[in-house]
Every structure is written in C-alpha cells, then in structure tokens.
Structure 1
Amino acid sequence: MRLRRHLLQINAISSTPEAARWLLRAFAIVLSIGILSGVYNFLLFTFNNDLSQRRGYMSSAIAEAHTFFTNRQVLLESLSLTALRTSAQSVPQSPTPGDEETHLLLSSDPAHAWSLWMTRRLEDYLREKQVSLLYVNTGERPQIKRLYNAAAQTPVIPSDILDQLRALESRNAPVNELWLSGRTGLRAHLYLFTRLDEHDAQAGWLGLEIDSHEVSTALSDQSAGTFLMVTADGMQVFSNSPAPDQQMCRPGNDGFFGFIGNGLLPERLVIRKDLTSSEWQLVYSIDLQSVLRGLWKQLLGSMVFCLLSLNLILLLTRRFEQRLIIPAIQRIQALVESEAFSRDVIQTAPVALCVLRRNDGQVVLENHLAQQWLGMGPARDLMGMSWVREAFMPTGRKGDDHVTVDGRHLCLSRATTRYKGEDVLLCAFSDISTRKQVEATLIEARRSADAANEAKTLFLATMSHEIRTPLYGVLGTLELLSRTRLDARQTEYLQVLEGASATLLQLICDVLDVSKIEANQLTLELSEFSPLELTQDVIHAYSAAAMSKGLQLYACLDPQLPKRLIGDVNRIRQVLNNLLGNALKFTDCGRVVLRVRATHLEGDHSELLWQVCDTGKGIAEDDQPLIFQPFYQTQGNQFAIAGSGLGLPICQRLTQLMHGQMRLVSERGLGTSVSLTLPLEVVASTGSTTLPRNLLAEPVYIVSPIRELAQTLSGWLHRWGARPHIGPPPDTAMLHGQLLLELHPGPLRRRLVEDWHGPQILASADGRSERLPEDRVWHVNLNNLTALHEVISQAQGLGGIRKDAQNHDSDMRRLDLRVLVAEDNAVNRTILKDQLEALGCSVELAADGEQALGRWQPGRFDVVLTDVNMPGLDGYALTKALHQRDKTLPIIGATANAMRGELERCLAAGMNHCLVKPFTLLDLYNCLAPYHGNRCDAL
C-alpha cells in the first residue's frame, strides 16, 4: 500500500505541466548530448583516420630515409672490404686515363699502407649519388685525404671533423662506424666513417661525404611534413624547416609518435625514429593547423550540423513550451486562481449563494450568508428539493422567484449547471426586504402624488371655470358694446378694455397650458393643413401691429413647400404667434422676417423649418440659458410691455411634444433668431392645388430693396410657370408689354421704378387686391400669394380679380332659431341672451337643468344651449334626459373648464358641440349656423 501510495504521488507529480517542462528539457539535453557525442566520435574517428594516414606517410618517409642511409652504409662497407694492405711503392699515385679500374693508395705510411681499387662503374655510381670518398689516417698528425670527389667543385672539409674523430677515438668503447656532420659556408655535409680494419686501430678511417642537398632531397616528403636529423646530443644536423622547433631537437626515445607543443594545445604532430646503426634520430613533424585544414570540410559540416541540430532542438523545445506547456500552466494557474477567486467571491458576495446537488438536493457549496438567511435543518432541505424539482423539470422555472424565510423577503435567481462532474442547481438569494419596504413607501407616495395631482387638476379646473365664467361676461359685454354707437373717447376706452381682457385671457390660457403639460394632459390634435395658408394667416394677424410700430413684416416661403401636411395646426399656430409677438414686442426699428422652408423631404415624411428673425436689441448671453424657464423675463428693454414669461417655455414644451427642436441665436444689439423644426407627415397630392401653375411663360421683372424677398418671389413665379428676372427691366421691355413686379416690405410710399409706364404690380404690406386708377397698375398684399397669383393672372390677361378672403367681411345673417338656454350664472345668461338675439334668435332662459327640462316641449325649440357644470341637474344629465325624449334635438354645451377630456366627455354624453368660455359672437354663430339649414353659411 505504501508503495502504491508512493507511486501515485510520483505519478501525480510527474503529470503536472511543470514536470512535463523539465522532462522536455531533460530530453532536449540528452538529445543534444547524443548529437554532440556523435559529432565528437565522428570527428575523432576522422581525426584518427587522418593521423593514421599521416603516420603512414611519415613512416614511409622514415623507411625511405633508412633505405637511403642503409645504401650509403652498405656502399661504405663494400668499399672498406675492397681495401687491401699494400706497400707504397707498388701503388700508382694517379689513375691512368682509359683504365677501367683506378688503384687508390689510402696511406703512405709503409707500416699501415692500404690501397683501394675502384672501377669506372663505381665512380659513375658515386658521381650519380653525389657521394665523395675520403680517408683519414691515424697517428700523431691525422689528415683527411679526398680519394674521390663527386661534386663539380671540391668542397673544403671542415676542420672540426678531425676533432670529432679524435673525440670518438678517445672513448674506451669500440666504435666501428661514425656519423659526423660539418658545414662549410652555407652548405652542410654528412660524413660517414668506418674503420678499414676493425682489428687494427692504426688502419685509419674510410669515409663518405654526402652533400646536404642530396640528403634533403632523399628525406623530403610533402605528405610526411618537415624532417629533422639530430644527433644523440640533440644537435641539429639536417632540416628542411627554416626554424625548427627546439622541442624536436631534444633527444628522446626511439619510436615516439604524438603531439608536442608549448601551450595548452599541441602544435605539431611528431614521429621520431633512430637511424640504422647510428645514434642519430630522424624526426618528421606536421603542423596541427595543416592537419585541421585538411579536415575543414568535416569540421565545418560537423559544426553546421551541431548548430542546426541544437537550434532545432532549442526551437522545438521553446515551441512546445510556448504552445503546450506554458498555456497549460497558465490555464491551470488561471483555473486554480479562478476557483480560489470564485470561492472568495462566493464568501464575500453580498448575496446568499448555494449549490444544490440534483440527486438529493443536498448543499454542495454555500457561503456564510446562505447559512445565515436560510438556516440549517430539514426545512431548508425540503425547500432545496422543491427548488431542484422545479428547476430540472422540462417546464420548470429557471428565472427569478420570491421566497420568504423567517419573515425575510428573498429574491431567488437559479440556474442549472454542472459542478465537479454532476448536475447541480446554482441558487442566488438577494435580500429585498428593504426594497419591499421602499416599494410600499413608493406606492403610498404615488397614491399621495396622484391625489395631489388630482387635487391640483381639480383646482385648475375649478379656477379655470371660476375665472372664465366672469371673464366671459366681460368679453361678451365688450363685444356687444362694440356693436353699439360710441363716440371716439368711448371707442378708445373700449379698445383698452378689450386689449386688457385679451391679455388676461392669454395669461389664463398660458398658465393652463403649463399646468396641462406638467399634468400630462396636453394632447395633440392631428389634422390636415396647408403650411402656406398657415404662414400667411399668422403674418396677416400681425401686419397691423407691425405697421403701427413702423416695422417691416414679411415672409420668405420656400417654393418647394409641401401642399398639405398632417399635424396639430393649432399648436403650431400658437408657437408661431408667440414667436412673432415676441419679435414685434422687442423690436423698435427694422424688420421681422418669417422664413419657412423644407429641410428634408423623403417619401411621405417631411421636416419643416420656421425661422423668426428680428433686428431688435437681442438677448444677453447670460439670459439665453434661462429664457425658456417659466416666468423668466429679460431685463434691459424699458419700452417693451412686460409679459408673463410663459410664452417661450410653452413653445419649447409644445415643440418637444411634437418631436421637434427649437433653437435660439441672439446677440446683443444685432437681433434674435428663433428656429422651429418639426417632423410632419406629407399628405399625398390629389391633383388640386391652392396655387395652380397656369401663368404664361412670359418675363416678369422683379425689383425689391431686399434681395432675399425678390429671390423668394422669383421661385414662386418659376413654380407657377412664369419667367422671372430679378432686377430693373430693360428699355425694350416696356415696348413688348412685359410685366414689372415691385415688392415693398413695408407700406407703399413711392415706387421703385418711377419711369415705368408698362403693366405693373405693386405688392406691399398694406396692399389690397385692387386695381389702381392708373392704367394697367394693380395693388396687392405682399404676404398673400393667392392674391398675388390672381393679380399676375389678370395682368397677363388670364382672368379677373377675386375678392380677397382676408379682406372680405361678410355680415352675419339672422339665424331665426329658437334656442333654450340653461345657465346658472345670471350674468352669463344675460350675455348669452343678448348674443343670441344679436344673431336673430329667439331665446328662452332657464336658471338650471331642471328648469330647462321642465320648459322643454317637443317642437318648441330648435337648439338647446346648456352650461355643462350646473348645480343639481348638470349639462350631462340634461342632455341624457332630453335625448330620451327627442334623439334628434341638437344640444350645444358651454363650459369654462378647458382641461383635457372635457370636449370628449361632452361629445360622449351626446352633445353635438362644445364651446369653451369665453367665446366670441363669431364662434357662437359658426356653431349655430349649421342648424339653420341651407339658408345659412358658416363663416
């Protein structure tokens, strides 16, 4: 068991990525050592093989040297054996020419006379081998005698030869052969001596003189390297090296072969052999560099192989480490860190976390909060099993759930997953007890806010009703008073009262609009409208005010404007009226321009830009961020009438409600520009147009002090089919009867082209569609494109002038209706009675709904006009009761409540119309006119 446990531990240790890294490195090291060992063995084998070859070459050279010297020794011995003892008288002193043999007398001493016979062939042999024959006698005065000279010149025998011979003879040991060397001048010679008679020491020495050149030639071998002959004392005799190594000259043992050198590395390969029958040694040496140079291919190949192999091993090792081992280590470390981090997160998480096993619902992992919130015991085990069953069922819930444990509200989030090889359920509990309390508090606060909002709405409705009711009496009375005869002062007073009442009504409407926006009761009423007609109506409404201040007011309308759009025309009109009113209010001189153009057209969607620019004093930079806040008013214009400060905030909120944008650009002393951009839906064209393209394609010359105005009218003329030209007409234009159009942004004071006598149209801010007394001269309103189109048509001979709808003031006809009025306010009853009688109606008054219901009889009344909010039987109940008796009876409601939903409630109750107080006589006429039959036309 211990062994098994130990093996398991070893297996676990060796299975780690770190162990794999060390095993990989160990394998790389072993493989590298194997490669290096193989390369070393290869180089060693190659080197040894080369050494063996070179040793063979050196041994062969030594053998040749042995042969060379053996031949000379044999020759000397042969010559010594041919020497004879003889007398000096019987030996001739010189050879005879032509003889085949030569008798040489070696010594003249009669006691020791020796002679030598030498044949012609021997002489030739000696000459060929460059060997000279010498004789040295013995005695008190030894001398060297040259018997035969093989060289071209007779060399001088060194004097130290005799000294060497005496030194050798003085030895006690017997010596038969001597090897000597000597140098005469630059040439060295080898001398080989032997005794003529080894038994007679007085016989003398017979010797051979061998030239160094002959020796060098015989001993030199390129394959064996350089040679060196040394004596037994280490003295150099012959060498073909200019500076031989001194270590080679040292005497040594016979048969040495190896490396010598002075440094750490050997320098030369040396073989040393003794010469035959001599103490001299012959040394051959080869420089190690030359040996290595001979092996450069093997060395280079081995080095390249080693480098490539080691680099490949290193690269593969690093590759394996980077791609396999290091990522595995990092993944393991990341896994360990992730698990440790996960455990820390689980323990420190502000929520309760637990992992439940699917099989039995037991807790596998949990944190401290889970133990604290869920507790420990059978109850938790039962809840865990229920959570596991619900989560692992095919239709089980896997989202959030709410549980209550010991009065604590917990939000349970669960998900099925796997942990340590088994299916588990991960549960996360967050304490929502505080949130539940906050939700309860918020619900209660919302109820309180709704109650306060309802109270506010009720207060606004009540105040609107209470204020509008007497205001209706004031405005109605003033309107009726204006229809009576008044003197100039009374008329002035009446106008002041009407202006103040209108200002009060506008202030009430503004405050009500702000309240509606804040209470989210303001809704849009979408309908079709013409942007051209809307702009012209707004300009006409402020023309009189502009002329009274001496300001120029005109519109620059884009000729590419869509004909019909869908939007809340009343709210757009309200915004434009407010912007123009502010511009006129804060502009003392100059002009106010309303520009309208389509900035984007795509399919049935359009984006229109209304821009109101003035030349007033402008708004200070510090006031611009606050200008759209309610009740904020700028300072510095003492001549302007102070307003409520609600106009621009209402405009901005209405713009946002219509998904548009409003932009303000202003600079003190230069003026203000306010832009309104709205996305609107384009109505598909049905073929009929407000301004048809039916003008003649004739030139129309346009002159104006403002070029922008001339360019705008030029675009419209081009759209209508004419040929506009901006600038004064030429002199020939009058002869051809061409048309001149003068544009005056203000009142018409003088003409721009005085000497023009052709057809001419004068368009000014105070113009009316009429023909002037002058021949072929028309006057028209500059801001009425419809009237301008008709005047140009008449000038071109296409038709007559229609009456301008803006200047048409038809009288309201008598309606002759029998009206039953139900109104609880006495003043309002009187005003309604006077207004209806002014319209030609017969009126019967009732103080409340019950009285009106009692006075109603079938066929007695044509219309019933009832107040909506009355004590007792109100207008809704009266309408219901009257419709039960006569379903076709027209009933018109009148209310001072302008809050959201009042109109819908009236219509839902069965009323045909609903008038919001205060209403004018014209509004009342337009509401009653449809019930007069075909005899009455609505205004």
Structure 2
Amino acid sequence: MPLKVIASFQTTLKVSRYMFRALATTLWILGALISVFYVNKELNQRESHLRQIFSLNFEQSLGYIRHTTDVARELRYIAANRFGAPVAPRERGAAAKKTPFSIYPLSSTFDCGEQYEKNPAQLQSLTSFFEQWHDDFSSVYDLNRIFFVDSSQQCIVDFGIRNQSLDSDSLMKSVQERLQNQKSNRAGNRREESLFWVTPGPTPDAGYLYALTPVYVDNHLVTMMGIEQSIRLDDFMLNGDLPFSVRLLDQNDRVLLQFTDSQSGNSLSHYPDSNNYFGYSDGYGALLMKKALPPTSMTVVYSLPLEVILMSLNTLIINIALLNLASAICLFLLTRLFERKIFRPAERNAFQLEENEQFNRKIVASAPVGICILRISDGTNIISNELAHNYLSLLTYEDRVRIVRIICEQQSKSLDVVTGRNHHLQISFVHSRYRNENVAICVLLDVSARVRMEESLQEMANAAEQASQSKSMFLATVSHELRTPLYGIIGNLDLLQTKSLPSDANRLVTAMQNSSALLLKIISDILDFSKIESEQLKIEPSEFAPREVINHIVSNYLPLVVKKRLVLYCYIDPNVPLRLMGDAVRLQQVLSNLLSNAIKFTDTGCIVFQVACCDDGYLVFKVRDTGVGIDTRAVMKLFDPFFQAGTGVQRHFQGTGLGLAICEKLVSLMDGDITIESEPGLGSEFGIRIPLYRAHYPQTLQVPDLQGKTCWLQIRNALMERYLLGLLNACGLDAQRYEEGQPVGKDDVMICDHVPDTLPNAHACVEISGMQAGAAQEVRAGYWLYSTAALHELPVLLQRIYRGEDELSAETLSLPSVSYNRTENSDIRLLVVDDHPINRRLLADQLGSLGYQVITANDGLDALDVLAKNPVDIILTDVNMPNMDGYRFTQRLREMGQTLPVIGVTANALAEERQRCLQAGMDNCLSKPVTLDTLQQSLSYYSNLVRQNKPVQS
C-alpha cells in the first residue's frame, strides 16, 4: 500500500477517534466546570466572611497601637513643656531624693555620670518631669517604665514605674541600633522621627512595645523620650471560635511575636511584600491578611489554614467530586469500548507504518549534528540530513572507503577524520535495523573549533612555562650579578670599621656602610617580592621559641630607640607559649620591618610592642607608635607594592615601598593576617596574627623564690601598671598598688616608673626607665634601674634580689652583644675557594679578623690540590666557578670519603639554591653579602664540632 494512502486512512481514523474522545471529554468538563463554579461561589462567600473577621481583629490591634501612640504624644507634650520651663529651686532637691532612676551609657567609652554632673539642669528637668507625670498621670497609663536618651545620644536615663527588672544591655543595644539606623536613613536636616519597636518577652505571644519620640524645645532637640509597655497578642484578637494565628512582623518581615492555635500550625514560610494584602500564601496553604500598623514600621498578619476554611465545605466538595468521578468513569468506559471494537483494529497497521517512517525522518532532519543512515551491506546512504551531506562532501574517496570498511567490520565505534580542507570530523556510529535491513546510524560532528582551542591552550601553557623559567633565570642572574660586587663593598667596609680610623674617615665609612646596607635591603626586598610573586618563596616551619625571637628583635632595635630618645615598651603576656611551630626567620623579618617603620616614623613619644594569645587560637603581635600617622586614603593602599604613604613629612624616608607588601604576603603564607589602625598626627598600630600550631605552654608560672613576697607598684603608666600586676601575681607575688603613706615591709620591693620623692624602708627599689638600654643596673645599694623593653623578665630580677645576688648575668636579663674573638679560633684552619679575586681576598680577611687560619684556592681543581698538601678543618666555597664549580667539588670530596664541613657561599637568592647545595653534600649555604656577624654565628657551630672530633693531644 502506498505510503500516502496509508497516511490518509490512518489520519482519518485518528481524527475520528480524537473527535469521539473530545466529545466525551467536553461533556465531562462541562459538568466539572459547573461544579467548580458552584464550589468557588461558596468559597468566595466564606472568604468574604473571614475578611470581615480579619478586619475587626485588625481594628482591635490598630486601636492598641494608636493608644500607645497617643500616650507617647501626650507624654512628649508634657515633657516639652517641662523642659522648656526652669526647675524651681525647691523642686531640685526633693525630686532628686524621691525619684529613683538609673543612668546607662550607650557607649562604653562615655562617662554619663560626668556628663550629668557638668550639666545637672537636664537631669533635674528629667526628674521634675517624672515627678509631675508620676503624681498626676501614672494611674491613667499602663506603662512599665519611661526612659530618656540625651541629645548627644550617649546616655539613657531610666525611670522604672512597676519595679520590673531591666535588661539594660538589651535595652541599650536596641536603642543604639534604632538610633544609628535612623541617623543613617535620615536625609538632610530633617527632624528626628518617633521610633517604635518590639522586643520578645518570656512567651512567644508576649513582649515589650517601645516608643521613642523626640522632644523639642524652641525647635531644638533636648532629649529622646521612650516608654515601655507590655504587649500581648491576645489584645490583638477578638473572641471567636476560629483557630486564628496572629504574627507581629518588623519592616523586614521578621517575626517579632506570634500566637498560633494548635489547629493553625506553627509558622508560615513566606509573607507577601505588600503591607495591605488579603489572600492566600504558602502555595494556597493558608488565607491571611497582612496590614501595616501606622505610625510604626511593623505589620500584623492574621492567618487561617486552608483546611479549616474547607472544613465547612467538605460535604459539598466530596459529593461533587464523587459525582464528577462517576461521570468520568462512565464516559471513559464508553470511549474505551468504542475504540477497542471499531477504531483500533483498523488503525493499528497504518499507524505503525506511518510512525516508523515519520520517526526516522524527524530524527535525521531535526538533529543539530550531521546524521546519515548507511546500509551495512554495501555502504549506501539511505537517509541523511543537510549537515551530514555537507560533511560527507568534504571527504575524499579514500576516506569514504575506509569509513565504510570500519563500519562494516565494526572495528570501533568512532573515528576521527581530517579532511583535505583541514576540517576535523568526529564520526560515531551504532548498528540498528531499518526497513528490515541492517543499517548503521552515523553521527558526524565538526570538532575543528575544539581542536584549535586545545592547540591554543597548549601553546598558552607552553608560553606560561617558558615565562616562568625566564623569570626564575632573571632572578638568579640579577641576584648573582648584584650581590657579588655588593659583597665586596659591604664586606670591606665591615672590615674597615674594625680598624682605628680618624673621626672624619670613620664618619665617611659609616655613611658608606649605611648606604650599602640600604642598597642591600632594597635589593633583598625586590628579590623577596619577586620570589613571592613567582611562588618560589616557601614557608619553612620548625619549632621555635617566640620569646627568644622577640628578645632578639628588641635587642637589635633598642640602641636605635635610645639614640632617638624614644621609649620602647615591650609587653609579653604570661600566657604566650614557650614553643610553637612556625617559620621563625620570616616572623622575625615581618616584626623587624614593623618595628623599624615605627622607629623611623616616630620622632617623639614611645613605641609599644605587645604580644598576647587570643581565645580563637592565634598569637597576636601589635606594634603601636606615636609617630606621624597615616591618612585614611593612604591606609587603603598601604599594602600595595611600591606604594609609599605621605607627600610631606614622610617624603625624606628612604625605601622601595615593598616592606609592608612583603609583610602582608609572608603573614598570609603563615596562615595569618595583618591589620592597621592609624590617625594622622597621633600614630599608627600594626597588628599581625599567626595560628598557634603545636604550641607548648609552661606547666606553671609560679617562681619558688617569690612565693608569699609582697611587691608595691608606684606606676603612673596605666598600661604598664595593669601588665605588671597581672605578670607578678601570676608568678606568685602579692603585687599591689602603692598609695602615699602605706606601710612597706622590710622584705618588700618597690617598683616605680619615676624617681620617688621619698624612698620607703623597703628591701629594694626598682625604677623602670625608658632610657635604660642594657641589663639591670644597681646604681646604689638597693636601688636598681631596669629597662622598659624587658618587662616580661622582671620576675628574674626580683628573684635575684631576694636571693641576694648582686651581679646579674647579661645572659639572663638582656641579649649579649656580638663580640669577635680574634684568638680563640686560631686552632681552626679554613679553606676559601672562590674564582673572584676580590671576594676571595675579602672572605679571607673577614675570617682572619675572626681569628681563623685561612688558605685560599681559585676553583675546585685548585682546591683539591691544596687539600692534598694541607690539612683543613672547614671549607667555604663559591658555587659558581670555572673548571670545577662548588657542586662538583663537594660531590668529589664526598666520593673521596671526606666528612669535613663544607659551607657554600652563593650570590643566588633563589630558594632552590640552598636545596641544591644540600643535595650536593654541603652542610650549609650562605648568601652574599656575608657579614662578620653571619660568619661568626655559622662558623662557631662547625668549629665546635671540629674541636669535639679532634683527638685529644697529651
């Protein structure tokens, strides 16, 4: 049968069957619509009745709010008249005695008592107003309390009426929040407006209604008067038998109070945005009315569940539903019977034929990719859409043959083909049946764009890798080329300062050394920042003692502080751990930068260095100064690279502007953060936090020799006094403030921060002075001078005083200065290997000044010859040399069985350089320029190892 004839007959049958279905459906829908209209009519009548009930309840709640508004307005008029009239002298004393009131500050830093002592007229007006109101009108109004907020919005004066307890913190917080919101929302010079809000009470349906209204006298705001009134949602409802729910909402639709009946549910998930709404909410789950309660910003919501509304219509709805269900069943059975006996036998065959044909054609024609159907037996294209036709036209004859062979042999399920026009085609296929034949459904997709994108991404990745390698090579080259000549300058200047020079020459050498040190710092900052940016700088955590790090930093900068006639206060809380896990070197770099900046930008005053532990698991460092300060706009850019704050007084300070940027990135790498607070002309405070990883705390802070001892503090510095009281009491001392005339025992110790007028008959007196830069000093019998920079070690001094030890070791109370012993190292012979003659000679001179025996070699090969002829204890070798570099030289030594210490000296500042030196077999690696301090600290360790391993000579 031709396809057209089949389609025509099948279409006729389908139309007839659908028309019969449509007739039955139309009859049922007509009956259902009549039923729905009837139910809807009954439901509308029910909703109209409920709307009237909601409106009556709303009028009840609105009347309650209006009553409160009237009370607030009347009290405001009385207050305005009372504030405008002067208080009679005879009323002042009486009002103050009779009227109980409480004053609370809205700000923790504001002294309300002092404010009202300076201005007693306002307080007298308040008490006079309350007396008048309480005597004449208190029985009329149902209020809990009246309170006033002064015109500066800093204090609250509370007058309790019913002797109810007051949650002052909650009241102050809510009042302060409303005043701040009103201030931020008020535009221009508009007058203050009345505020209304509700706070929860002991039960969900009860709370407290507050009204805060401004009181003006002669168009001047003199106070904000507030009232507190108990509120219950029972007052918002009329008696009835319906299970209403009532909710009081704020302007953001947050529930303040709610009253829910057991049948009405507990909560609504959504409230309409409109403040004048009546209708359904929660997906027709409840009928509600929402209306505003002027003049407040609150709204009241009355709701009733839909099931309660439908409860009265249950019988009607069930009967109508059953009737419609019965009619639907009858019509459905009649339709099914007619279709089974008449339509389906004649339609089935024609429908199957047309369905198969239309299915195949629609798939092929509407697909967004190229689709074709190939006969497997000979590869003939049976059906194809336009895309497939276009793609197949791009294939060569050889491509077609190969594709047909692969499909016929089922070698794979997909293949990629590159056409002669450089198009990339992806062909996927699956076997199927069509018209009783085995066919292959092929899907062709042009993936040229994806291939080009992959190639582009690969090129970008290669370019990024090449750029990273170029940047690393640039850092290594710049580091080596700058540090090598700089080492010659700084090292020779360092040696020159150890010589006896005329004063003019010494001044010039000092100036050159300062300039060289500044240049080295600038280079180091730039290289550090570059390493951070290229992710080559890594944090190396290890266990360290934070107190030792702080002592080292303070001892380094204390001479500079004293030189500028500043005072450095160092406060380390007793709860700071003894040891923790972190990168002590990078932490010292950050803290040194902050302390250096504080000293640099402070000409007068003091610098405060505080260290404490927080409850959130962080160790906090704060550096506060009294310097020039930073304006707000500069603070926002302070951590930007190469940014320097200030254009005037700060212009003469040298630097690259990278110090704080490096600090921020280093602290971030240590999982911490950095903050700043500054005020121009008053100073700045920098703070950093680092996590307390694997912290070890002291088992006890008690000092045995100080148990039961009494210590008197006569300290003018409040911060120092609080710190010393906590520190000394934690150590077991009985530390107390000293008042003039108090008896002092003979075994007691007096601590002061100034020269006392009279010395009490105490065991000893310790004066804490900012000008004392060294260890504690006994200037006369029983009178000690102690530095403000070592306050945390004061218990050690007190322990020595009570023991009767007159001489205090500098090791205990201050860090020792570095001294270079020229004779004690004469038993150690060092080999210096460097191809640069200036650096080789300089390093030899530096080692000679430290007392070592020195021999030199030009490169690795020369060093092997020298070692064959001379015994050597320690080797210092450059890593980049001709003929044989330091790496191969060290590897050769280890292959020969040599175990003597080998220290690499390199001008490369990259982090990988140290790792490469250690992998080559070196014991340590020093970066140029190498100072005498660095050499002394590094070589002293290896010298002691050499001495321990040397055989004892009899």
Q: Give the TM bin, normalised by the shorter chain.
A: 0.5 to 0.7
What's 1:507 paired with?
522
Does residue 764 (structure 1) correspond to residue 766 (structure 2)? The answer is no
What's 2:592 paired with?
577
Pairwise CA distance, 1:508: 1.1
Equivalent runs, 1:597-746 vs 2, <5 Å:
597-601=612-616, 606-638=617-649, 640-684=652-696, 695-725=706-736, 727-729=737-739, 731-735=741-745, 737-742=747-752, 744=753
What are the Cα deviations for residues 758-815 of structure 1, in whole angstroms up to 9, with x where unaligned? Answer: 5333333425433524443333333325632211223444977443353434553324
Identify which of 831, 842, 849 aligns with 2:860.
849
What's 1:803 paired with?
810
Contact between 1:594 and 1:611, CA under 8 Å: does it hold in 2?
yes
Query: Aligned with 1:833: secondary structure?
Result: helix
What are the Cα deviations for residues 156-208 of structure 1, in whole angstroms up to 9, with x where unaligned? Answer: xxxxxxxxxxxxxxxxxxxxxxxxxxxxxxxxxxxxxxxxxxxxxxxxxxxxx
Pairwise CA distance, 1:734: 0.5
Query: Aligned with 1:26: secondary structure?
Result: helix
Query: Aligned with 1:573: secondary structure?
Result: helix
- List alignment gaps of at least 5 residues for structure 1: 34-304, 326-339
Identify which of 878, 887, 897 aligns with 1:867.
878
Contact between 1:355 and 1:424, CA under 8 Å: does it hold in 2?
no
Contact between 1:883 and 1:889, CA under 8 Å: does it hold in 2?
no
Tell me: CA distance 1:733–1:844, structure 2 relative to 1, closer, same or farther (3 Å). Answer: same
Tell me: CA distance 1:307–1:705, structure 2 relative to 1, closer, same or farther (3 Å). Answer: closer
TM-score (norm 1): 0.57
Identify which of 566, 570, 578 aligns with 1:563.
578
What's 2:755 paired with?
750
Pairwise CA distance, 1:437: 3.3
Q: Percent identity?
A: 31
Pairwise CA distance, 1:505: 1.0
Contact between 2:483 and 2:928, CA under 8 Å: does it hold in 1?
yes
Tell me: CA distance 1:3–1:445, structure 2 relative to 1, closer, same or farther (3 Å). Answer: closer
Tell me: CA distance 1:770–1:5, structure 2 relative to 1, closer, same or farther (3 Å). Answer: closer
Tell me: CA distance 1:565–1:310, structure 2 relative to 1, closer, same or farther (3 Å). Answer: closer
What's 1:787 paired with?
793
Pairwise CA distance, 1:616: 2.5
What's 2:105 paired with?
none
What are the Cα deviations for residues 401-422 of structure 1, in whole angstroms up to 9, with x where unaligned? Answer: 96656643357899999999x9
What's 2:301 paired with?
none
Q: 2-side partners of 1:691 and 1:24: how far apart?
A: 94
Query: Aligned with 2:476: secondary structure?
Result: helix
Pairwise CA distance, 1:865: 2.1
What's 2:149 paired with?
none
Identify which of 832, 835, 838 aligns with 1:827.
838
Equivalent runs, 1:404-553 vs 2, <5 Å:
404=418, 407-409=422-424, 431-553=446-568
Query: Aligned with 2:911: secondary structure?
Result: coil
Tell me: CA distance 1:607–1:362, structure 2 relative to 1, closer, same or farther (3 Å). Answer: farther
Q: 2-side partners of 1:9 and 1:449: how far apart?
A: 65
What's 2:784 paired with?
778
TM-score (norm 2): 0.57
Pairwise CA distance, 1:8: 6.7
Q: Which amino acid aligns with 2:369?
A: A
Query: Aligned with 2:575: secondary structure?
Result: coil
Q: Which amino acid aligns with 2:24?
A: L
What are the Cα deviations for residues 551-577 of structure 1, in whole angstroms up to 9, with x where unaligned? Answer: 332233333223211111111111111
What's 2:268 paired with?
none
Query: Aligned with 2:602: secondary structure?
Result: coil
What are the Cα deviations for residues 343-371 of structure 1, in whole angstroms up to 9, with x where unaligned? Answer: 9999899x636598999999999865455
Pairwise CA distance, 1:20: 4.9
Query: Aligned with 1:638: secondary structure?
Result: coil
Q: 1-side partners of 2:861 and 2:608: how far apart?
A: 56
Deviates more, 1:18-27 or 1:643-652: 18-27
Pairwise CA distance, 1:918: 1.2
Contact between 1:892 and 1:915, CA under 8 Å: does it hold in 2?
yes
Q: 1-side partners of 2:470 and 2:605: how far apart?
A: 48
Equivalent runs, 1:376-395 vs 2, <5 Å:
none
Tell me: CA distance 1:503–1:690, structure 2 relative to 1, closer, same or farther (3 Å). Answer: farther
Pairwise CA distance, 1:669: 3.0
Contact between 1:697 and 1:721, CA under 8 Å: does it hold in 2?
yes
What are the Cα deviations for residues 634-684 of structure 1, in whole angstroms up to 9, with x where unaligned? Answer: 233336422111111211222232233223333333332333223341245
What's 2:155 paired with?
none
CA RMSD of aligned residues (A): 5.0
What's 1:586 paired with?
601
What's 1:372 paired with?
390
Query: Aligned with 1:783: secondary structure?
Result: helix
Query: Aligned with 2:844: secondary structure?
Result: helix
The higher radius of gyration belongs to 1
Pairwise CA distance, 1:881: 3.0
Tell me: CA distance 1:786–1:553, structure 2 relative to 1, closer, same or farther (3 Å). Answer: closer
Equivalent runs, 1:4-403 vs 2, <5 Å:
12-13=14-15, 20=21, 22-24=23-25, 26=27, 313=323, 352=369, 354=371, 368-373=386-391
Tell me: CA distance 1:734–1:535, structure 2 relative to 1, closer, same or farther (3 Å). Answer: same
- List alignment gaps of at least 5 residues for structure 2: 35-314, 336-357, 950-954
Pairwise CA distance, 1:490: 3.4
Query: Aligned with 1:889: secondary structure?
Result: coil
Query: Aligned with 2:929: secondary structure?
Result: coil
Pairwise CA distance, 1:318: 10
Query: Aligned with 1:784: secondary structure?
Result: helix
Contact between 2:429 and 2:443, CA under 8 Å: does it hold in 1?
yes
Query: Aligned with 2:587: secondary structure?
Result: helix
Contact between 2:607 and 2:625, CA under 8 Å: does it hold in 1?
yes
What are the Cα deviations for residues 4-31 of structure 1, in whole angstroms up to 9, with x where unaligned? Answer: 9999768745765x96564255368799
- How many residues are paired up? 631
Query: Aligned with 1:471: secondary structure?
Result: helix
Query: Aligned with 2:835: secondary structure?
Result: coil
Contact between 1:782 and 1:788, CA under 8 Å: does it hold in 2?
no
What's 2:267 paired with?
none
Bigger relative contact order, structure 1 or 2, given CA contacts below 8 A and separation 6+?
2
Does residue 906 (structure 1) correspond to residue 917 (structure 2)? The answer is yes
Q: Which amino acid aligns with 1:462?
A: T
Pairwise CA distance, 1:832: 1.8
Q: 1-side partners of 2:705 and 2:445: how far apart?
A: 77
What's 2:851 paired with?
840
Contact between 2:567 and 2:788, CA under 8 Å: does it hold in 1?
no
Tell me: CA distance 1:461–1:760, structure 2 relative to 1, closer, same or farther (3 Å). Answer: same
Tell me: CA distance 1:904–1:759, structure 2 relative to 1, closer, same or farther (3 Å). Answer: same
Contact between 1:769 and 1:781, CA under 8 Å: does it hold in 2?
yes
Deviates more, 1:589-598 or 1:5-14: 5-14
Q: 1-side partners of 2:834 and 2:766: how far apart?
A: 54
